[in-house]
Amino acid sequence: MSKGVTVWFTGLPCSGKTTVADKVAEILRKQGHKVERLDGDTVRKGLTSDLGFSKKDRDENIKRVTFVAKLLTRNDVMVLATFVSPYRERRRLTREEIGSFMEVYVRCSLEECMRRDVKGMYRKAFAGEIKDFTGVDDPYEEPLSPELILDTDRETVEESAEKVLDKMRSMGYL
């Protein structure tokens, strides 16, 4: 049986967090592991639909997700969480609360994130139609010491996923 862990993918919008985590989840499920995906877009439709994008609301969003991830992790589920989660202090608190935790910084140039943006969010943010957009008019605080950095503008989804699995193995989660 596998040990529970939360693998926290953080990075700019459209950096590849969801794409890589979905690939990792697919591989882990094929291997017979209990896996749950927590994704920013999905969570905001239910658990945190009452929240906006102010710093206070973003912190509350991650606080609620942390609670869910902690419950799943302690019940031996591998949680793959994909959230911009732009603030270091909130990520630190999440790490502390969950315990079995692996931070993955999904690093990608702003230019590539903008190119991948099928919803046109960056264009709207630069035009002033969306306020407090991470990477445009709200800061993204890069992790100082994540367990893993993926450069998704220079590696394939498969290469990134394999790096995540390798790190999970080296940390004793697989």
Active site residues: 85
CA angle 1, 158, 155 (to 5 degrees): 135
3-state SS class at 157 = helix
Rounded distance between C-alpha atoms, residue 66 and residue 71, angstroms? 9
Inter-residue contact 166 to 7 (CB < 8 Å): no
Rounded distance between C-alpha atoms, residue 77 and residue 110, angstroms? 33
